[in-house]
Structure 1
């Protein structure tokens, strides 16, 4: 049985597949506003975002996460699971699965279970763009994105959404199909813009006001602190920044200090330690904490996923999907 039932019940679960979500049209500005709202609700104490659970075998060939949360503005409870296999292999030999299950905390009924890959591919660059809007130096005009994978492909369109005055867009990547995909996504949202592919990353980093590192763990790129210009903002999503950019930063901002301490261990110093965070991002975006203090300070920002942002964006997609009659009803509890 396909389609979304008019009246939800406690016997069925609505499944939204990859193809269901792929057909939903949502603007970059809508995504940014949704994610921003989730941060502000969390800061207001209306949402809950516990620390994620992590399981990783000793040889490091896979990693899995479980994240539970509640969005107080939407009265939605959700759990997200994420599993990646083949971390010791090339990207095309890896397997990655992530799912989000939403429950209505007013009626107590399930809302939907969905593939979370598109949610993550939009949420993460939207967060980077919000970090850039709040933390980039005044008058920032140039950006460098490192990596052309899933997170790198929408990084520039989202940056232009929050920083429309950027006039130089640079990209460091080695995969031709990834570079082509970055260009395709950029032109789809900003037809008159193009990206400059750079091979001298040190020189590019020295000229960038914003550096967003989204590369995979096998990247040879590792931007050092001394490469960055005064006032530069470096945002770590995946890989591409050396630990010095964190330890020698004038200011450190994290979406969550607890999350950084769990997932950012590859940035630890020789003693296995990470520096303290100067501010977390939810109060910064809510206007309750200071982000940048002066134009010349170098800021390091750690972008780790908070499940409340997945819940907010997942719920937005569920609303749009239900309105379009998308999804499959599964009699899971019969």
Structure 2
């Protein structure tokens, strides 16, 4: 059975317990291992499909997590920019210590955890000292956990604000905050520009037309704008910042070229793994308006996927398949 593979569905993983604090620690260690040179993470491969009428896109990521000694392959396909029902993402894990496959699993739960963890880690290192107000823009699957993760990383946050247009997403965001921080209130806003001008941290994980595209110069002095690969951020937002951060400069060049503005150049001051490792600052000055581009790196998917898969298998979930028999 050494070549058997655990197959884990979205339902198998849905109620596996993992706390925001645990996920943040796993993702941070993923960045540290990469910064040490123990991990490998080539740039994401993304391919728009030729039939633009359907606005379909596919991408894949390959990486090696040196802490776990696991290899991961992630694939995603989506037909239509706004169709969550037609978005499919999987991750497969291989144990390099044994040379055996470990798991093939739905990756939605993984992305819904590692994405807000990356946001929280970015904010912990790049937000101004004494940051008190956070604004979350967007209520999609990868954004709903953002506020509780931010609060885990920055317990001094006093005001938590949300802009969303989908009642289901707003309700899910409220439920996520209530689950981990039942005593905290969520403030809904309807004027994005006014709210951004009064927020220390602004996270944009929204689509194209639900709100005016967020500009870096809307931020107050010392503000932090984090774009979760969002189309809701104005072109040129990176160039307008006093200090620019990216999870990966290479992936910014694949998925975020418009952020330099017309004819602009993508210039990054620091990458997040180097910031986490203490080799670069999260900002130069407390008054800097900082722009951070967050693009998923499979080295952060692997440890979260491994933790969820290990717990699911221990709970008797999924199927064990002799795929190569």
- What is the alpha-carbon distance in structure 1 between the residues aligned to residue 212 and residue 119 of structure 2? 19
Q: Which residue of structure 2 aligns with residue 331 of structure 1?
A: 322
2:2 alignment partner, one of 1, 9, 12? 9
Residue 299 of structure 2 aligns to a residue in which SS?
Answer: helix
| Contact 1:157/1:185 (<8 A) preserved | yes
Residue 320 of structure 1 aligns to a residue in which SS?
Answer: helix
- What is the alpha-carbon distance in structure 2 between the residues aligned to residue 102 and residue 244 of structure 1? 37
| Contact 1:219/1:239 (<8 A) preserved | no
Gaps (5+ residues) in structure 2? none
Correspondence 1:278 to 2:302: no
CA deviation after TM superposition for structure 1 residue 325, in Å: 2.2
CA deviation after TM superposition for structure 1 residue 145, in Å: 0.6
| Contact 1:267/1:274 (<8 A) preserved | no
Q: Which residue of structure 1 aligns with residue 80 of structure 2?
A: 86
Aligned residue-pair number: 322
Q: Which residue of structure 2 aligns with residue 111 of structure 1?
A: 102
Q: Which residue of structure 1 aligns with residue 164 of structure 2?
A: 173
1:251 alignment partner, one of 226, 237, 243? 243
CA deviation after TM superposition for structure 1 residue 331, in Å: 2.1
Residue 144 of structure 1 aligns to a residue in which SS?
Answer: strand
Residue 246 of structure 1 aligns to a residue in which SS?
Answer: coil
- What is the alpha-carbon distance in structure 2 between the residues aligned to residue 195 and residue 153 of structure 1? 12
- What is the alpha-carbon distance in structure 1 between the residues aligned to residue 184 and residue 195 of structure 2? 18
- What is the alpha-carbon distance in structure 1 between the residues aligned to residue 116 and residue 125 of structure 2? 14
Q: Structure 1 runs of 4+ off > 6 angstroms? A: none
In the TM superposition, 1:60-71 aligns within 5 A as 61-71=55-65
CA offset digits 1:196-250 (Å, max 9, x no partner): 1111111101110000001123433312233110000000002322124311100
Q: Which residue of structure 2 aligns with residue 72 of structure 1?
A: 66
| Contact 1:147/1:213 (<8 A) preserved | yes
2:179 alignment partner, one of 160, 178, 188? 188
TM-score by length of 2: 0.96
RMSD in angstroms over aligned alpha carbons? 1.4
| Contact 2:200/2:222 (<8 A) preserved | yes
| Contact 1:261/1:274 (<8 A) preserved | no
CA offset digits 1:292-326 (Å, max 9, x no partner): 12110010000000000001111111221222222
- What is the alpha-carbon distance in structure 1 between the residues aligned to residue 57 and residue 265 of structure 2? 21
Q: Which residue of structure 2 aligns with residue 139 of structure 1?
A: 130
